[in-house]
Structure 1
């Protein structure tokens, strides 16, 4: 067997042992990286590890990460979730499927605030599950649509995982945000269309449609939600219009979020410090994982693993479609045991050079991998959205998985669509460049 493949098997086994033993992911990545230097290269880890950690820790693109997280924390604590159902219900109550669409549209809005799948699911679920249950909506469809739509937190900008991918793949975070808009909207349409079709064929499970409201009444009911929507649009538009970088747009978002919190009188010293500390803790955790992943990436480069893998892929003449199919299966298997950021950083050192060598656009691949990781959020036994809903509903993981299956299939359909029509991903970034 080729020595490089032997080293890959040994390193993979070491990583699995460390993860199973409960070691922090960042420590596991760093340990395997140092082990790679010591056993399979002639490089000195005492020189390379500190410099790699330092270079990864001050990457400019990472500055957008804590800012967007803080913006989401401020808005979440300022009563957004309480206003979400009341603001959306008047506009969606007459659609086929009724208020079930609040899960989809609400998650789309919350995704643009939180940037996290689990946070999106938990926030929307806290307000929609009691309301939909009280109105007699089908429980399986309610849970399934919430678990599926909760994954929008990874795709609809500003997305935390897109920032992480941008740093790892050295891609523009702003272009990734723009590239995620059309696929995100397509998923909202796919999910809502499925709910509407389900309602047409399951009339006995749908409650009686609620009475219509006038346009003025709808506006009045959603007046507290409108400022948040305008803030989200302003943040994304500032990036799309070339007026601000992702970091500058995040700063605009924080100032706007603080202003909205002050207007609704939820901003006080305690709320300010709690949101700041929550954002700091999460940002530090992600930054530590990224820095450790950078060490592993450099180590496997010195061990010649990416070049060997690229040569192996070229040697077996695997087509781009075949490679994408193989990677989809690989990521779905990882998703059964790891959460999104971990999947990305664990695989990046090997997968990104291989994809680049195959001639696949790394911007397009970023959106592809985010959608695949969305699938991983709703695959048992460690799908984070499933775990969140288990704690909120008391139902078993397998019951929630069965209810979520149609939406997992729709996510796979979205992957097929962007493979067949890559313009769904690339059109907006190209327009921005022109």
Structure 2
């Protein structure tokens, strides 16, 4: 009988990769992996019911637990907003308006993903919603204009994860509740690291465009002051919509879900103002919203079921306890825990990672002398990494559904941004003041 948690983990990952590479639907692959793991390692499960009763009960409960979340209600609404902006001419107008302003920056419109994801992250608090909405608006437009598909996909995958780091953030709320850390301070602490990560992405895009000029189309346009002023008529309505949605959240006037509804209303008003909306556009936007939302929900169900199976087999807890017993130095401990979270990100969704490991990991972190506020931001970075770590990287799956590209191509495009995220983790570890500055500054005031 196999009971070693490391061996269990390796077997589960091999099974999962086998299914995913066989072109079976992602949600089905995750569910099948969980079922097979339960059948193989039945001896590790509580001997209360027959194995098939256990599978049925666990699948039903995990489906309910995964989807019974009010925070998920914002997801389809934000996707609908993005669909309306995309199906009408508003997304084209946005990029047309940004073109003169970004023309002098190396990489030009490739920075749109970084800027748009940073702004939308502050609206939705969801990595999935950020990636899906911005991807719907930008990917086709960038490809039509001759920009590098690889760099567009990679920047979207990396920037989409900012939905967890730039407040409001669901992961920060969960961590704050479980660790008894102020959620308000967590929100403030996440802002500078989020901007740091976005800046690293933009710097990489600048360097990549200098090294390989083919990633950006050749444009000989010279823009005048009138061009800059004229572009404002395309930018002003869209930025007004963003300010209204953001302002309603930060002003305490609306929840993210209510703000998403406000955003849909604003998108319809803008599309009507620009005379670029019709019944067919609305119908297609609704149908695509349903398809994307169901796809994401199916993946969430599959990941939720697999997370429950991993929990039943005791893998996450066993690995956490093993690390805690190694007696490492504080910084070596952080390195090992970081590697553990990257590995767990291959088989668990972000919320499950936090909930299943924090009761074991947090006491070890506190004993080693690390600040729980800082560790909260570190943990959010680890969850972000899990979003673009195969095979359970939600952002990768969402981008695959939007772009139609093979997962191997998306992984290759995402790798530089994955490494940049690790660089950001190293920076906040070496310079924890990046995390503490805003909470200390606001407290001092």
Q: TM-score, normalised by structure 2?
A: 0.69
Contact 1:148 1:407 in 2 (8 A): yes
The secondary structure found in structure 1 opposite 2:145 is: helix
Could you give the per-residue CA deviations for residues 165-190 of structure 1, whole angstroms, max 9, x where no partner exists? 96799789999877655434323333
* Partner of residue 243 from structure 1, selected from 253, 259, 283: 253
| Aligned-pair CA distance for 1:374 | 6.3
- Could you tell me which residue of structure 1 aligns to residue 82 of structure 2? 72
Alignment of 1:380-399 (within 5 A): 397=409
Change (3 A) 1:258 1:421: farther
Within the alignment, does 1:253 sit opposite 2:257 as a pair?
Answer: no
- The reply on whether 1:325 has 2:335 as its aligned counterpart is yes
Aligned residue in 2 for 1:148: 155
Displacement after TM superposition at 1:324 (Å): 4.3
Q: How far did 1:316 drift? A: 0.4
Offset at residue 66 of structure 1 (A): 2.2
Provide the secondary structure at the position in 1 that maps to 2:253: coil
Give the deviation of 1:40 after TM superposition.
Answer: 2.0
Q: Is 1:41 aligned to 2:39, yes or no?
A: no
Alpha-carbon separation, structure 2, partners of 1:157 and 1:256: 24
Aligned to 2:369: none
Q: Is the 8 A contact 1:92 1:102 kept in 2?
A: yes
Distance 1:246 1:300, change over 3 A: same
Equivalent residue in structure 2 for 1:358, among 345, 359, 364 = 364
CA contact (8 A) 1:70 1:275 kept: yes
Structure 1: distance between partners of 2:16 and 2:243: 43
Alignment of 1:339-350 (within 5 A): 344=350
Displacement after TM superposition at 1:89 (Å): 1.4
Q: Distance in 2 between matches of 1:429 and 1:37?
A: 48
Does residue 1:368 correspond to 2:384, yes or no? Answer: no
Give CA deviations for 1:13-46 in whole Å, capped at 9, x if unaligned. Answer: 2463255234614523652686577742245536
Judge conservation of contact 1:107–1:149 (CA < 8 Å) in 2: yes
Q: Which residue of structure 2 aligns with residue 126 of structure 1?
A: 140
Give the structure 1 partner of residue 124 of structure 2.
Answer: none
SS of the residue 2:425 aligns to: helix
1:204–1:47 Cα change, 3 Å: closer
User: Do the aligned residues in 1 keep the contact of 2:162 with 2:194 (CA within 8 Å)?
Assistant: yes
Secondary structure of residue in 2 paired with 1:358: helix
Give the SS at the match of 2:84.
helix
Matching of residue 101 in structure 1 with residue 98 in structure 2: no
1:368 is displaced (CA, Å) by 0.4
Q: Equivalent residues in 2 for 1:390-429 (5 A)?
A: 397=409, 401=412, 407-422=417-432, 424=434
Secondary structure of the corresponding residue to residue 222 of structure 1: helix
Partner of 1:16: 14
Structure 2, unpaired ranges of 5+: 121-127, 366-371
Contact kept, 8 Å, 2:97 with 2:234, in 1: the verdict is yes
Structure 1 residue matching 2:233: 3-state secondary structure: coil
Change (3 A) 1:164 1:296: farther
Aligned-partner Cα distance in 2 for 1:205–1:296: 39
| Structure-1 separation of matches of 2:414 and 2:309 | 39
Tell whether the 8 Å contact from 2:110 to 2:152 is kept in structure 1 after alignment. Answer: yes
Whether the 8 Å CA contact 1:162–1:177 is kept in 2: the answer is yes
Cα distance in 1, alignment partners of residues 309 and 208 from structure 2: 51
Separation in structure 2 between the aligned mates of residue 129 and residue 315 of structure 1, nearest angstrom: 51
Query: In structure 1, what is the Cα distance between the partners aligned to 2:430 and 2:314?
Result: 33
Cα gap change, 1:278 to 1:427, in 2 (>3 Å): farther
Question: For 2:287, what is the secondary structure of its paired residue?
Answer: helix
